[in-house]
Amino acid sequence: MDSYVHTGELGIGVGVGHYFGDLNPDARVNAPKMAFGIFYRKQLSNYIGVRITGEYTFLGYSDVYSNNPVNRARNLSFNTNVWELGIAGDFNFFRFQPGFEGYNFTPYMGLGIGVFTYDPYTFLNGEKYLLRPLGTEGQGSSLYPNSNPYSVTALSIPFTFGVKYAINTRTNFFAEVMYRFINTDYLDDVSGLYAPDAFPPLPDGSLTPAYLLQDRSYETGSSIGVKGKQRGNSLKPDAFLTFKLGLSFNLQTYRCPTN
């Protein structure tokens, strides 16, 4: 049975991603968006492997989805493209040897570290605006010298649980959920306090796009964006997950039998 050695896999998966954070504090799964990824797994044994991944996830959310009337009145929204590279250790719960009866299925789990880029944006009057350059919480304003623009690069700690089944000696089917703990609270551009005084009117007296986007409660009623009032929850970082279905293709070597 050990003549063929399963040395690894190349795989691709497609599915959906979901965001959790200041606009979705109750972790509701009601606005999934597209996700896909590729990976290479080096199998160190029948149970332990190391995986390198490349992932894309489109994330977004809006206060209009909230059951909380205060959040609905806040009326903020965002979208962002997330590109991620990661490395993780994987553990098969069962021995996995594609092509051998009784060894063609296993649940697995993984834990790793990744780096990703993101750049939240939204729309105002049909026009797209990147939110980070606007400094919607006073970042970069001389009135808030201790508030600096956030980075568009962050770290992730992906935790994976999945199952895979060897269709034949060459091909496997898998389904997996990957949840990321991340070290930023600005995936959604919302974290701290309102800072409306950081956005003075234009010389003609009209309001700037930055002012109109830092507090959009005027679109639902009276403005709630008073200086110093909580805009988000800076004590809890954002997070996101993906659910993917896919195929992986086995890499194998042949080990000559010994007498």
Residue 218 three-state SS? helix
Question: Is 147 part of a structural domain of the chain?
Answer: yes
259 located within any domain: no
Residue 201 resides in a domain: yes
In a domain, 46, yes or no: yes
Residue 120 in domain:
yes
Report the pLDDT averaged over residues 13-30.
97
Quick check: is 208 in a domain? yes
Look at residue 1 in the predicted model and tell me its pLDDT: 46
pLDDT of residue 258: 45
Whichever domain contains 144, its CATH number is 2.40.160.20
CA–CA separation, 175 and 85 (whole Å):
20
Please tell me the predicted confidence (pLDDT) of residue 6. Answer: 84
Contact predicate 135/149, CB 8 Å: yes
Contact 25, 37 (CB under 8 A): no
**Residue range(s) defining the domain that contains residue 208:** 4-254
Q: Does 234 reside within a domain?
A: yes
Count CB-CB contacts under 10 A for residue 7: 14
* Overall number of domains in the chain: 1
- Global pTM reads 0.93
Residue 140 inside a domain? The answer is yes
The pLDDT tens digits for 202-249 are 999 999 999 999 999 999 988 999 999 999 999 999 999 999 999 999
